Amino acid sequence: MTSSTSTVVNGGISFWYADDGLPAVREPLAGDTSADVAIVGGGYTGLWTAYYLKKAAPFLRITVLEQRFCGYGASGRNGGWLYNGVAGRDRYARLHGHEAAVRLQRAMNDTVGEVVRAAEEEGIEADIHRGGVLEVARTPAQAARLRAFHEAESAFGEKDRELYGARETAERITVAGAVASTWTPHGARVHPVKLVKGLAAAVEALGVTIHESTPVTEIRPQHAVTPYGTVRAPYVLRCTEGFTANLKGQRRTWLPMNSSMIATEPLTDGQWEAVGWAGRETLGDMAHAYMYAQRTADGRIALGGRGVPYRFGSRTDADGRTQTATVQALRRILVSFFPALAGVRIEHAWSGVLGVPRDWCASVTLDRSTGIGWAGGYVGSGVATANLAARTLRDLVRLDSGQGGRTELTELPWAGHRVRRWEPEPLRWLGVRGLYAAYRAADRREAATHAAETSRIARAADRVTGRH
Ligand SMILES: Cc1cc2nc3c(=O)[nH]c(=O)nc-3n(C[C@H](O)[C@H](O)[C@H](O)COP(=O)(O)OP(=O)(O)OC[C@H]3O[C@@H](n4cnc5c(N)ncnc54)[C@H](O)[C@@H]3O)c2cc1C
């Protein structure tokens, strides 16, 4: 370990909990019971689903079952990019036509505003700042991808997106070597934990029952089974994203992909002057093994990227601990972006898992024959997507129970989408390891050769994995 990473707090779920405090844990389930809707998982997906269902039908008895505490998963660990990206849009365009995918994209654009609106209505103070999203290119190949990305987003209706050259980029954020960037207003920075804690409190205040320290071991039609009893309900909704593989029968459903983050100490005014970033945009890049970052409300940089991407057998992590090598790799990215921060102290490092379906498409499904529903597979862009998925799941439940009709959301192309399962081990492990080794090699090659084209290695990896 280098001296600058030796004092890092590693794990502890995430920096966001070190900042805002771990919550008091709610009572576990105490014996068999019944509900109208049982929701498994207390992250953004489960909690927003409970929120919108209860708002639509206050008489519904809704129980949320959470293995640890609400926000224990990715919802309490993410980079706080509340933005309009949705995994699978381009594939949905191929499957259902361009117009259907545009509807999904428009719904996502509106979702950023909906989260901000609902947080305001519920008095949730989550350090929200609507500065948009800035994505930068630092090599000719990245710049070519950035332009193609910008054009594709414009074709999906984002007329308010802007393309910048090196100078305009530097006027926003001084990223070393940035040659171009694209900015969209459809994004905001959030404090993930303040959002999830506030949401859990709002849901409870509406009359939803939340049991924590209550792991569900099996979901069967009309049953959510736990060691402390079974909740019987006509609808059981699985909102477990990156943890789904731990449930009986779900080992190969969504692959738990790891993402890791670091948070610096608060920067000095002088350091901020060197960095810029007055607009507090969320910041990302166009590398294959991309980074994402935010300027926190208390003046730090929180930056994330891919560490060890996947653990054999779909294992998840121990309370967010990440590898020392990953901390060092993220630190190198930070300093390469902002050389003026070479001496800055990293205070916290952590990791979490997100859910990746075999076709990399987020989806929302209610199986009408069993009453079992699920939403997720957001592939790393779930902060806003979970909200739209929750409202879609609400409408599917209301449609099925005869309380509501078809809506714009039930007709989105992701409703009812099914996908094949991942390969068994060791193929799963070898495939994902190979994929990220290929992406890292492609990034190195593009940087070394200054080629204007995306490396063939990355294109081949995309084809083999079905990512694009
Ligand atoms: C490090 C990291 C950075 C990220 N950054 C961003 C970002 O900046 N922007 C963005 O859009 N997305 C980001 N994501 C993804 C985003 O955080 C997730 O897509 C989103 O939070 C998923 O919410 P969820 O409720 O579906 O899942 P989770 O938040 O993972 O919630 C699932 C919950 O289910 C519980 N659970 C699991 N299994 C069981 C069980 N058997 N019984 C009971 N409870 C169970 C878990 O404890 C957990 O609380 C990031 C993810 C990670 C890991």
pLDDT, mean of residues 342-355: 95
Tens digit of pLDDT for each residue in 31-82? Answer: 999 999 999 999 999 999 999 999 999 999 999 999 999 999 999 999 999 9
Of all protein residues, the one whose alpha carbon is nearest to atom 48 of ligand 1 is 73
pTM, two decimal places: 0.95
Ligand 1 atom at minimum distance from 71 CA: 49
C-alpha 158 to ligand 1 mean position (Å): 27
Give pLDDT tens digits for 373-402: 999 999 989 999 999 999 999 999 999 999
CB of residue 49 inside a 6 A radius of ligand 1:
no
Q: How many CB atoms lie within 10 A of CB 405?
A: 9
Atom in ligand 1 nearest the alpha carbon of residue 45: 25
72 within ligand 1 shell (Cβ under 6 A): yes
Q: Is 355 in the pocket of ligand 1 (CB under 6 A)?
A: no
pLDDT of residue 4: 52
Atom of ligand 1 nearest to the CA of 43: 25
Q: Which atom of ligand 1 is nearest to the CA of 217?
A: 41
CA of residue 353 to ligand 1 center, whole Å: 7
Q: Supply the pLDDT for residue 404.
A: 96
Return the ∠ at Cα 281 (arms to 275 and 284), rounded to 5°.
80
Q: Give 34's contacts (C-beta < 8 A, 6+ positions apart).
A: 61, 231, 232, 233
In angstroms, rounded to a whole number, what is the distance separating the alpha carbons of residues 78 and 304?
Answer: 9
Structure tokens that stand for 23 in this block: 């919550």
Q: What pLDDT score was predicted for residue 307?
A: 66
Find residue 227's DSSP bridge partners: none
Q: Is the CB of 256 under 6 A from ligand 1?
A: no
Report the amino acid identity of residue 401.
S
Tell me the pairing of strands 346-356 and 9-10.
Answer: parallel
User: With 60 as the cut, is the pLDDT of residue 14 above it?
Assistant: yes
Residue type, 137: A
Is any ligand 1 atom within 6 A of the Cβ of residue 131? Answer: no
170-191: average pLDDT: 98
Q: How far is the CA of 384 from the centre of ligand 1 (A)?
A: 12
Tokens at residue 383, please?
Answer: 């902060």
363 lines ligand 1 (CB under 6 A): no
pLDDT tens figures, 242-294: 999 999 999 888 989 889 999 999 999 999 999 999 999 999 999 988 899 99
Among 398, 388, 407, smallest CA distance to 368 is for: 398
84 lines ligand 1 (CB under 6 A): no
Choose among 176, 259, 225: nearest CA to 67.
225
pLDDT at 238: 98
- Which atom in ligand 1 lies closest to the alpha carbon of residue 47? 25
Angle value at C-alpha 388, between 385 and 394, nearest 5 degrees:
135
Task: Compute, in angstroms, the gap from residue 76 CA to the centroid of ligand 1.
Answer: 7
